[in-house]
Chain A
Amino acid sequence: MKTKVLALVSLVFVSLWGGAIMAQSPLRIEIDNPNIEPMPFAVPAFIAETAGADQYAQRLAQVVAADLTGSGLFREIPENAFISTLTSFDSPVQFSDWKAINAQALVSGSVSTVGDGQIAVKFRVYDVFAEQELGGGLQFVGSTDGWRRMAHKVADAVYSRITGEGPYFDSRVTFVSETGPKNARQKRIAIMDYDGKNTQFLTTDQSIVLAPRFSPDGNSVIYTSYETGEPQMYLLDLSTVNRRRLAEQPGTMTFAPRFSPDGQSIVYSLTTGRNNDIYRMSLGGGAAQRLTNDPTIETAPSFSPDGDQIVFESDRSGTQQLYVMSAIGGEATRISFGQGRYSAPVWSPRGDLIAFTKQNRGRFHIGVMNADGSGERLLTASFLDESPTWAPNGRVLMFTRESAGAGGSSTLYSVDISGRNLRPIRQSASDPSWSPLLE
């Protein structure tokens, strides 16, 4: 367990031909086009170049295809439609065979064992109709148990080259795994690949746990636990799975921490019951600073990616609304003005948007607005949607959707910030937090 959580891969990137070779008029998905059609692509099974690599050849291609299809921007052409297949990584591609099935993009790959429990994965991306390679080929070397990460890296490269967006497939999500009935739910902090695979549990089900958040370096998780009988904050090191409770003030409850972008401090909620305010604490020690001081509820703080500002939720106007203040506290500016109640804001890693939860007329929504509050758009609607988290490229949100009734349960969903491509990711799970892109 201990070494497993981050016994990931030490990936080594080797460019096959030095610098990237860009196509003359690159194959491109205009991701903000509202009438976007998924781009048809083909990923034949990777070519196993050594005997021991056979077991990865098909699976690598499947994960690459699943990543690209899952983005909603690509459409996989099934293998049974292929006219020919690839037999050698270095042989010329018969573009006519791929044009005939309308594969606009073709990904070829190979895998070989390189000794010591390691495999090497190579890939190339082709613009089929232009009959040329898109970007340069790349090679990754890593341990065999990290083969899925290598597939995600391949898919990330394809996605980025064709959309111009940053990558996000090689990432993980920490969340709360839920079992048991609604009135006695058992909860554990867990971690999985962004696509719901490779789940590992980080806590037992002895205490209620809530709202885990990744550190900016992806090496630790901060969360809220009732281990002492009341909500307090814990910092968990993913390499050792050791955790420590963060210093508390007697007679207070603390929860909903998030890291500053430099990972050196956290902002969180502290309640004495009479006061519900936002505090900031350095993880290196030192006294907590109080950032708000109001008789109303101030909670759910989230830093801007430059670390200069904090967006939070307050009911000082009479209903829950979103406010932005300096990261050292002081006057706050209200940014939400629509109908309903706004909560759980989280700043995009790109800095441009703030995602939030909105309650209006008995429905819950996940939405986004510009950081100044303009341009509000609701992306989802259901009985209960909440707790959005951003993919590392600021393009996709994951959130909790809870169903109604006595048998109600929580499921993680993701949605593109266009509102397209709503997809279930994992059942019996809540409070997702997306990691940064893995190194």
Chain B
Amino acid sequence: MKTLSTVVLMSAALGLSACSGGLFDQNNRLGGAGANGANGVGGSDITTGALAPNSVAYFDQTIGNTVLFAVDQSTLSDVARATLAQQAAWLVANPTYTAVVEGHADEQGTRIYNLNLGSSRAAAVRDFLVSQGVSDARLQIVTYGKERPLEICSEEACYAKNRRSVTVIGAGAVS
């Protein structure tokens, strides 16, 4: 069930990336009612052979579009930095793509505080990508606070996956 919905969303994301919209096209950034990353475009759920290294699917699945954070923190772990270094290299190698960095929090906090926390997490990711050579103009951040959890149980196993940033690759056409 979960894999199925993931695949469907993945193909939706691919479809969008094939479209050529403007920079930060509104629909592309936000498929439907919520965050793309929030709806489970996680890399490791699907095993697919031979993804083209310049494909969005490669970015999402092989590199991984998601990094995780400690409770109430927006600092990047070593694991997160390693993933983000690869994200940055992909973005540098594929300069026509833009990206929206979504920041998310788990439900253990008030709504407004978590919006701030999600913003700080997204900004930490953006700043790291910029430090690795990605142009600031290609990146936008958005916080979802606790509005779009990936996992829905009320236990640490779920919370750990919800404290995340997701780098959502947008349409090409940066001129």
Contact = CB atoms under 8 A, between A and B. Distances in A.
Are A and B part of the same complex? yes
Interface of A: 181-186, 205-208, 210-211, 226, 228-231, 253, 255-256, 269, 271-274, 276, 297, 299-300, 313, 320, 343-344, 357, 359, 383-384, 386-387, 402, 404-406, 408, 430-431
A299 B117 CA distance: 11
Interface stretch (B12-20, B26-34, B79-87): B26-34
B35 to A, nearest CB: 9
Interface in B107-151: 107-113, 115-117, 119-120, 122-124, 126-127, 140-144, 147-151
B149 A183 contact: yes
B152 A299 contact: no
Contact of B143 (A184, A186, A231, A320): A231
A272 B30 CA distance: 19
Given A344-B110, A431-B111, A299 B33 contact: no
Given A205-B33, A231-B143, A408-B154, A183 B116 contact: no
Contacts of A405: 152-154
B166 interface: no
A226 B32 CA distance: 11
A255 B147 CA distance: 14
A439 to B, nearest CB: 30
A269 B116 CA distance: 9
A319 B40 CA distance: 31
Given A181-B152, A182-B152, A208-B34, A274 B123 contact: yes
28 contacts: A183-B148, A183-B149, A184-B33, A184-B34, A207-B33, A208-B33, A208-B148, A210-B147, A211-B112, A229-B26, A230-B140, A230-B143, A231-B115, A271-B115, A271-B120, A271-B143, A273-B124, A297-B113, A299-B113, A299-B116, A343-B110, A344-B110, A404-B154, A405-B154, A406-B152, A406-B153, A406-B154, A408-B152
Contact of B113 (A182, A183, A226, A320): A320
Contact of B115 (A269, A274, A383): A269
A255 B33 contact: no
Contacts of B126: 273
Interface in B9-57: 24, 26, 29-30, 33-34, 38-40
A383 B108 CA distance: 9
Contacts of B112: 211, 255-256, 269, 299-300, 313, 343-344
Contact of A383 (B40, B116, B154): B154
A186 B33 contact: yes
Contacts of B144: 208
Contacts of A181: 152
B111 A226 contact: no
A182 to B, nearest CB: 4
B52 to A, nearest CB: 28
A431 B150 CA distance: 22
A320 B24 CA distance: 34
Interface of B: 24, 26, 29-30, 33-34, 38-40, 100, 103, 107-113, 115-117, 119-120, 122-124, 126-127, 140-144, 147-154
Contacts, number: 122
B30 A229 contact: yes
A300 B107 CA distance: 17
Contacts of A210: 111, 115, 147
A184 B103 CA distance: 16
A255 B111 CA distance: 11
B143 A386 contact: no
A386 B153 contact: no
Nearest to A300: B112
A359 B33 contact: no
Contacts of B113: 297, 299-300, 313, 320, 343-344
A384 B112 CA distance: 14
Contacts of B100: 229
Contacts of B107: 384, 402
Nearest to B141: A273
A313 B111 CA distance: 13
Given A205-B33, A208-B34, A271 B116 contact: yes
Contacts of A271: 115-116, 119-120, 143
Given A271-B116, A274-B123, A276-B120, A387 B110 contact: yes
A210 B108 CA distance: 17
Contact of A359 (B108, B143, B152): B108
B15 to A, nearest CB: 18
B4 to A, nearest CB: 15
B128 to A, nearest CB: 12
Which of A183, A231, A408, A430 counts the most chain B CB atoms within 10 A?
Answer: A183
A402 B154 CA distance: 11
Nearest to A358: B110
A211 B111 contact: yes
Contact of A276 (B29, B40, B109, B116): B116
Contacts of A402: 107
